[in-house]
Amino acid sequence: MIVADKKPIEEIIEEIKDFKKILILGCNECVTVCEAGGKKEVGILASALRMYFLNEGKDVDIDERTLERQCDHEYLEEIRDIIDGYDAVVSLACGVGVQFTAEKYFEIPVLPGVNTCFLGATEKRGVWTERCQACGQCILAFTGGICPVSRCAKRILNGPCGGSSKGKCEINKELDCAWQLIVDRLKALNRLEDYEKLFSIKDWSHDRAGGPRKVEREDVQL
Amino acid sequence: MRLKYPTSIKIVRVPCTGKVDILHILRAFEKGADGVYAVGRMEGDCHYNSGNFRARKRVEQAAELLDKVGVGGERVRMYNLSSGEGPKFAEYAVEMYELIKQLGPNPIKKSKAKKEAA
Amino acid sequence: MNLKTPSKLEKIFASGNLAVTSEVGPPRGSDPDAITEKANLIKDYVDAVNITDNQTSVTRMCSLAACIRLKQMGVEPVLQMVTRDRNRIALQSDILGAASFDIHNMLCLSGDHQSFGDCAQGQNVHDLDSMQLIQTVRQMRDEGKFLGGDDIKRPPTIFVGAAANPFADPFEIRVPRLAKKIAAGVEFIQTQCIYNLDKFEEWMKLVRDRGLHEKVYIMAGMTPMKSAGMARYMKNRVPGMDVPDEVVKRLADTPKEKQAEEGIKICIEAIERLKEVDGVKGFHIMAIEWEEKVPEIVKAAGLYPRPDADSL
């Protein structure tokens, strides 16, 4: 899922300090799972902000709403009838949701309430780690199911580099060396001879380098 | 036991302090509470294993937020005791009451009053 | 001799002589004297001089410019190139730049992560990794083609090298990794500096078992210790470094003012021992900021004078 982290409240206050009617808009999916932007976090942020503005002597209305997702038109349409009552929206969705909301409600500032971090998994409650960088050309079949693009700090395709030490990456002793993991997995799968196959130069044009990407499926379009 | 504790303390009963969320704490202050405290079992003694640990963490986070918005994190606290300790309960109640009296009323109340007067 | 390039280093290897190289780190400024002074200290004692490429991700004068400076002095350069800072366009471009000045040796590396250096907030590139860079140089040289497929006018004639670390983890793939680099096209290897001679000889045995020592020229990396403190630091703080306790002890047991001398002795003894190891084709002496000791080490290890490449 998309993993995000709460923005410090001071940053959000700075973003909204000139507005008078604010809607805090949450999302029921990824940001709920990583406890950054779901209904509960919306409530906490709204309550804290109300108290802040009261203490500042400022008359600010703060409302709360959580949508199923902010990356689909039909859910965003649900606030069409109330949006004109606000002069700013703080979206606690990931960067996708913030932008999609802003595109749809063009005349109203839509501000981010979380920092979108990466595509990752829940290792355990409160700990999320990166697994995928959406390079557009998945090579997991050849690396024992472990991705060197997202899990190697140098995204080396013929690793490890000389800095791998006791299974950890040179940049951080807590970070697993992706290539150690790949070697371990190839061993477990009895395919260590695959290690010597040379990975050819990657086509990064399917990655961010190729520009903003699009997936089009004519078979499901009307 | 019929021990005495200050009448201005409102008790909200929960099956475990683990049920208390940051949101409940914040909303209490938003509505004008001068102080909020959670009383849970001794650490390691929780009937549901770790509810009181979660409560402690949430109290700490609520305190941080309350500091940042000008209400004051000292107004929220966590106490631990075991269920038979009636006198301790009363003692903590008095302690909290004294602490809050010293801190004064929740600044929100003054701000709200100012807003109404305007 | 069946030489693929005009490289003096290749010639020395091919003639059956032990080759000797050393390295110079460019300055954190634009003063060319910083290169020429150090090079002058060592040029008569080595066959070629490596110029490091923004080592440890600390921004320095670029390796290519410093290599050109060496070339102008009549010293044979080895251009170190990391994939951290340049995409494939820049890499091929710099290779052509080097070739235009008749620089005939290159060492292909990934490069330390930028978080170690002075620009920890920067991007890293790694469009290619070190093995793919080896493939790229070979393609440019042997097929005369760019990666994109177009023909190169006056293709580079570069002797291709890479690094190897017999002491890094995981140990079980250290020899397969060498095999991979050879399959990618590497022609000479410089190892990480060696202190654990037993472990190195173990690695060399595994290398020989696969016949790899005949497919690539292996140079043993050597760095003299300046002090017991340096030995301890390298043992505990530098990843991929194997410094046996006996080495640290030997230095620690020496009075402080004699430790540097002892470190040089240890280095010379190691070279003498490794000269006897089948498959070791030369020595890469890294004495960064201590370049003045290289002549002494080369002489005492019986590697002086260097053969005259022109008469081989």
ipTM: 0.90
Q: What is the mean pLDDT of residues C48-60?
A: 96
Query: In this complex, which of A40, A49, A55 lies closest to B107 when CB atoms are compared?
Result: A55
* A170 contacts C129? CB cut-off 8 A: no
| Residue C44 placed within a domain | yes
Both A163 and A101 in a single domain? no
Chain B residues near residue A51 by CB distance under 8 angstroms: 26, 29-30, 66, 69-71, 108
Chain A residues near residue C203 by CB distance under 8 angstroms: none
Name the minimum distance, in Å, from the CA of A31 to any CA of chain B. Answer: 17
Q: What is the mean pLDDT of residues A127-131?
A: 97
- Residue A90's DSSP bridge partners are A24, A111
Domain total of chain B: 1
List residues in chain C touching A: CB distance below 8 A. 84, 88, 110-113, 115-116, 124, 126-132, 135-136, 147, 163, 165, 168-170, 172-173, 176, 179-180, 183-184, 192, 239-240
Helix (H) or strand (E) holding C82: strand C77-82
Residues A4, C34: Cα–Cα separation, whole Å:
48
Helix boundaries (H) for chain B: 22-30, 51-68, 86-103, 107-117
| Residue A128 placed within a domain | no
Contact call for residues A128 and A121 (beta carbons, < 8 A): yes
pLDDT class for C62, splitting at 50, 70, 90? very high
Both A182 and A153 in a single domain? yes
Query: Considering A71, A93, A118, which residue would you say is the last residue of a domain?
Result: A118
| Residue A98 placed within a domain | yes
List the end-to-end C-alpha distance of chain C, in Å, as a whole number: 9
**SS3 state of residue C140:** helix
Tokens (6 digits) for C38: 């150090």
Contact call for residues C78 and C105 (beta carbons, < 8 A): yes
Length of chain C: 312
pLDDT over 80 (residue A105): yes
| Residue B52 placed within a domain | yes
pLDDT over 90 (residue A25): yes
Q: What is the mean pLDDT of residues C246-254?
A: 95
Contact call for residues A147 and A120 (beta carbons, < 8 A): no
| CATH for A83 | 3.40.50.2300
| Residue B10 placed within a domain | no
Mean pLDDT of chain C: 95
| Residue C2 placed within a domain | no
- Residue A67's DSSP bridge partners are A27
- Residues in Cβ contact with A86 at an 8 Å cutoff, skipping those fewer than 6 apart: A21, A22, A23, A63, A108
| Residue B9 placed within a domain | no
| Residue A179 placed within a domain | yes
Question: What is the pLDDT at residue C37?
Answer: 96
Both A102 and A8 in a single domain? yes
Query: Considering A87, A118, A149, which residue would you say is the last residue of a domain?
Result: A118
* A156 contacts C126? CB cut-off 8 A: yes
| Residue A217 placed within a domain | no
**SS3 state of residue B118:** coil
Phi/psi of residue C163, nearest 5 degrees: -100, 160
Query: Considering A86, A118, A150, which residue would you say is the last residue of a domain?
Result: A118
pLDDT in tens, A175-222: 999 999 999 999 999 999 999 999 999 999 999 999 999 999 999 998
Q: Which of B19, B24, B25, B26 to mutate to test the interface with A (most CBs of A within 10 A)?
A: B26
Q: What is the mean pLDDT of residues B7-28?
A: 92
| Residue C268 placed within a domain | yes
Both A159 and A105 in a single domain? no
**SS3 state of residue C197:** helix
| Residue C1 placed within a domain | no
| Residue B111 placed within a domain | yes
In DSSP notation, chain A reads: -EEEEEPPHHHHHHHHTT-SEEEEEEESSHHHHTTSSSHHHHHHHHHHHHHHHHHTT---EEEEEEES-SSSHHHHGGGTTTGGG-SEEEE-S-HHHHHHHHHHSTTS-EEE-EEEEEEEEEEETTEEEEEE---SS--GGGTTT--HHHHSTT--SS---TT-BTTEETTEEEEEPHHHHHHHHHHHTT-GGGGGSPPPPP-GGGSGGG-S-----TTT--
Helix boundaries (H) for C101-185: 130-138, 174-184
pLDDT in tens, C83-137: 999 999 999 999 999 999 999 999 999 999 999 999 999 999 999 999 999 999 9
| Residue C232 placed within a domain | yes
List the end-to-end C-alpha distance of chain A, in Å, as a whole number: 28
Question: What is the pLDDT at residue B78?
Answer: 94
pLDDT in tens, A154-183: 999 998 998 888 899 989 989 999 999 999
Mean pLDDT of chain A: 95
| Residue C60 placed within a domain | yes
| Residue B12 placed within a domain | no
Query: In this complex, which of A48, A54, A57 lies closest to B65 when CB atoms are compared?
Result: A48
Question: What is the pLDDT at residue C288?
Answer: 79
Both A54 and A113 in a single domain? yes
pLDDT over 80 (residue C239): no
Domain total of chain C: 1
Residues B42, A73: Cα–Cα separation, whole Å:
50
Helix (H) or strand (E) holding C36: helix C33-42
Query: In this complex, which of C116, C130, C173 lies closest to A183 when CB atoms are compared?
Result: C173
Domain total of chain A: 2
Residues A60, A53: Cα–Cα separation, whole Å:
6
Residues A151, A120: Cα–Cα separation, whole Å:
11
pLDDT over 80 (residue C193): yes
Both A71 and A171 in a single domain? no
Question: What is the pLDDT at residue B1?
Answer: 66
Contact call for residues C189 and C163 (beta carbons, < 8 A): yes
**SS3 state of residue C134:** helix
| Residue C173 placed within a domain | yes
Question: What is the pLDDT at residue C170?
Answer: 84
Both A24 and A74 in a single domain? yes
Residues A92, A66: Cα–Cα separation, whole Å:
9
Cβ neighbours around A145 below 10 Å, total: 12
Both A12 and A101 in a single domain? yes
* A52 contacts B70? CB cut-off 8 A: yes
**SS3 state of residue B93:** helix
Q: Which domain holds residue A139?
A: 133-201
A9 inside 8 A of chain B by CB: yes
Chains A, C: CB contacts under 8 A, how many? Answer: 91
Q: Which domain holds residue C35?
A: 8-311
| Residue C3 placed within a domain | no
Name the minimum distance, in Å, from the CA of C57 to any CA of chain A. Answer: 12
Contact call for residues B63 and B76 (beta carbons, < 8 A): yes
Q: Which of C83, C89, C126 to mutate to test the interface with A (most CBs of A within 10 A)?
A: C126
| Residue B95 placed within a domain | yes
* B23 contacts A47? CB cut-off 8 A: yes
| CATH for C248 | 3.20.20.220
What pTM did the predictor assign? 0.91
| Residue B8 placed within a domain | no
Residue in A with minimal Cα distance to C123: A154
Cα dist from C217 to B56, C214, C223, whole Å: 64, 7, 19
Both A113 and A13 in a single domain? yes
Contact call for residues B45 and B3 (beta carbons, < 8 A): no
pLDDT class for B2, splitting at 50, 70, 90? confident
Both A21 and A77 in a single domain? yes
